[in-house]
Amino acid sequence: MTAEELAGKLVELLEDAERVLTARPVLEKLSKDFYWYSPILKRQLEEKTGDVAVQPVSTEEVVAVVRFAYAAGVPVTVRGAGTGNYGQCIPLEGGIVLDLSRMDKLEEITPDGVAVCQPGLRLAPLEVEARRQDWELRMYPSTLAKATVGGFLAGGSGGIGSVTHGGLRDFDNVRAVEVVTMEAEPRVVKHEGEAVREILHSWGTNGVITRAWFALTPAVEWVQVTAAFFTYEEGFRFARKVAESERWQKRLVTVFEWPIPSFFTPVKQVVAEGKTLVLVMIANVQAGALKLAAEEAGGKVTFVGPYTGPKSQPLMSDYTWNHTTLWAMKADPKWTYLQAGFLPERCMEQFRLLREKYGEEILFHIEFMKNGEGVVVPGGIPLVYYTTDERLKEMIAYCREIGVFIANPHVNNLEDGGRFRSDNVQLAAKRKYDPKGLLNPGKMLSFEVQRS
């Protein structure tokens, strides 16, 4: 079927030509994400696009599009806001881009603090409304302003808040998801409790999320504090104490070694030349005590300001998680990144070994987070100065050799990305819900191998 015929069929189906998009620049935009963060993915994915994009407004319309795609054998790639950074929503085999941005309703916040929402709802308005009702997000990616609930659940892992609440797949952070299956007669299936793990972080390969039950937490009056330390070790040790101790009520604990803070040009005033910067989002009632603790640890407090929601000025989380990489790339496009997990008991040695071998080709950016066992660990998104693919691969291999976990962000499939579940529940769901392999084809390698 040509792209034109495909578009014609979809217009008939939705009875609305305005929500069937074929203009080249629009398609180009709706087929892409932040894949260009990786010099390797940039080359691999630059030319890939869908053939047509559709914007359903209801689950019924999603079902209709999927039913048609199944019968016609056309691939479907779901899109939220396209802020993923491994080409997750880039269609490898053309077909339909299912843009869910118009399904953006917050249906309700239940009395026990669960947001029931459509997948295209952006996280920023959800955070604002939740706080208005004395709740807030348990965690959000630094792309809060644009990212959607569906995209976060299907493509993200955690973020600001994970130091206290863990990742998306941990605990009961996501209570339930409803997915539309890719079958002759698509079903609408609700996954609750443990079963959400079949769908979370599956990149839209095993179902289209059409509704989510996302757990919130009581709102806190937060304060953003930054402190500068002479050495990376000093800053790291202080941050680690804050992150690990139950004494502190926190939402974010981040460490940037110098010269990373020099990339944060809009907030120059919080940066101290040559020094490591520690950023903490702390409960207002503890801000004074935190300032004292930072000073006792040898730090100099450079900023204290309230968090009043996504529009806070400045919003310091705009410099954390993968936004750090963005600021570095603005300063010099040769910077790229890794996603790392350091061993709590060996991290100082791991930092030393990496520094000895690579010097300032690697810069430490640490994000503390709680793991599934409830232990706070030093994760991070270290910056890497790119020279060649071989050097990058060698660095990843060396990290793994010395026990640093790497979720490789320079690959475009779930398994090599390192967050595929070893119990294969995502694969089992793919076999059940997408037997023809039409949902985001090419991204779940273990399924592709069986298909070929």
CB of 108 to ligand FAD, least distance (A): 19
User: Measured between alpha carbons, how far is 254 from 225 in angstroms, rounded to an integer?
Assistant: 11
C-beta closer to ligand FAD: residue 179 or 223: 179
| Pairwise CA distance, residues 311 & 168, whole Å | 24
Cβ at position 131, least distance to ligand FAD in Å: 19
Distances (CA, A) of 129 to 78, 107, 134: 26, 12, 9
Assigned token pair, 254: 């981040």
Shorter beta-carbon distance to ligand FAD: residue 329 or 353? 329
Q: Measured at CB, which residue is nearest to ligand FAD?
A: 151
Q: Which is nearer to ligand FAD, 299 or 379 (CB)?
A: 379
Tokens for 142? 């630094």
Distances in Å between the alpha carbon of 200 and those of 131, 167, 179, 268, 429?
25, 11, 11, 38, 11
Residue 131 backbone phi and psi in degrees, to 5:
-65, -30
Q: How far is the CB of 176 from ligand FAD (least distance, A)?
A: 14
- Which C-beta is closer to ligand FAD: that of 322 or that of 408? 322
Shortest distance (Å) from residue 61 CB to ligand FAD: 13
**Cβ closest to ligand FAD, residue 145 vs residue 304:** 145
The residue with tokens 């640093």 is: 404
Minimum gap (Å) between residue 390 Cβ and ligand FAD: 25
Sequence-ordered strand ranges (E) for 284-424: 300-306, 335-337, 340-341, 362-363, 365-370, 376-380, 383-385, 405-406
Query: Which pair of tokens denotes residue 435?
Result: 């037997």
- Between 113 and 379, name the residue whose CB sits nearer to ligand FAD: 379
**Where does this chain bind ligand FAD (CB under 6 A)?**
33-34, 77-85, 88-89, 100, 119, 141-143, 147-148, 150-152, 154-159, 203-204, 208-209, 321-323, 326, 440
Q: Which residue reads 């520690």 in tokens?
A: 278
Rounded least distance, CB 111 to ligand FAD, Å? 26
